[in-house]
Amino acid sequence: MQEWHEIIIPSTPQGRRQAEAEIMTRAQELGFSQEATFSIKLALEEAVTNAIKHGNHFDKTKKVLILYCCNHKNFTLTVRDEGEGFDPEKVPDPTAPENIRLPYGRGIMLMNAYMDRIEFSPKGNEVTMVKENR
């Protein structure tokens, strides 16, 4: 059985970078390719940034929980914030003509593109992502 690891960070960029460093080290130790490791890093960065910005509204008293479980075949990440959640189906399409030039709004699209599976909790304050090591 795989062991889950827990990282709890404050809603700050510094906290995000610490979590990224730990998770990237683990992916490299397990032999994930450079491409897969990049995908994990990008998706984690997007998910944690969204949790800090949209979920916890930069409130330093609120935490972001990151859970990860991994082996040589796949890497599973869960990111949860203390916010009220959202409906991912209501997020505007970043490729729509009216949104294409906006400098934001592509996080979920990137997570979907770079990870093999992505799922939001019913409440919408938690995302679980899986990257397979091919």
The three-class DSSP label of residue 74 is strand
What is the full per-residue pLDDT of the chain (134 aa) written as tens digits?
678 999 999 999 888 999 999 999 999 999 999 999 999 999 999 999 999 999 999 999 999 999 999 999 999 999 999 999 999 999 999 999 999 998 888 999 999 999 999 999 999 999 999 999 98
Which residues are registered as beta bridge partners of 70?
75
3-class SS at 11?
coil
Q: Which residues contact 132 (CB under 8 A, 6 or more apart)?
A: 36, 73, 74, 116
DSSP state of 90: G
| Token output for 108 | 């979920």
Can you give the pTM of this predicted structure?
0.93
CA distance 7 to 18: 9
Chain centroid offset of residue 87 CA = 16
Q: Given 3.40.50.720, 3.40.50.2300, 3.40.50.300, 3.30.565.10, which CATH number is that of 5-132?
A: 3.30.565.10
